[in-house]
Amino acid sequence: MKKNLLSLAVVALLGAATATSATAQAKMAPNTVMVGGEAMYANKNIVENAVNSKDHTTLVAAVKAAGLVATLQSKGPFTVFAPVNDAFENLPAGTVETLLKPENKATLTKVLTYHVVAGNLTADKIMAAIKAGKGTATLTTVSGGKLTAMMNGAKNVVLTDESGNTACISTYDVTQSNGVIHVIDKVMLPK
């Protein structure tokens, strides 16, 4: 009898855990992508999602220092090429600290808005533009600068900044309520 009760209790616990897991998965919409160990929800805006990504703490700090939070919470739509923390760490020593100083707010804003394109450019749209451009697509950023997109293989998009630096997109199409984020591995720098 005790063995049967124990078995029933284990079955009940496993059933509850499975139901909880199924409920959690059901709450994650089909467009939900994991970034920085956290779910990015399509019904949240760029800032609401980015603050939860452990891979984007430097980017979030920079957005706050530049006073761009309200802009990136607005209707948009925006396409954001979001560098991970390692991308900022790979800049020359002292670069991030210098950019975050209040007296460098204009430069920081220019660098950050160089990672933003007006509109909702999904990976399919970027790849179609590259194909239409016979191998390259020029993207005009909110800062007024240009990024060049091209393919590196069949499904990998590479961005090149105005100085010739390249970044690979590591996570595509993180849908937001006000646009889309593509995670990149380098910081793009305007001239």
- Contact by Cβ (8 Å): 83, 185: yes
The CATH number corresponding to 31-184 among 3.50.50.60, 2.60.40.420, 2.30.180.10, 1.10.10.60 equals 2.30.180.10
pLDDT value for 3: 41
81: nearest Cα among 119, 107, 54, 48: 119
Residues 6 or more apart whose Cβ sits within 8 Å of residue 120: 76, 77, 78, 79, 179, 180
- Contact by Cβ (8 Å): 36, 53: yes
Strand-pairing partners, residue 83, are 184
Read off the pLDDT of residues 7-22 as tens digits, 9 standing for 90 and up: 333 333 333 333 333 3
Read off the pLDDT of residues 70-118 as tens digits, 9 standing for 90 and up: 898 889 899 999 999 999 999 999 999 999 999 999 999 999 999 999 9
Q: Residue 6 — very low, low, confident or very high, per pLDDT cuts 50/70/90?
A: very low
The two most distant CA atoms of the chain are separated, in Å, by 77
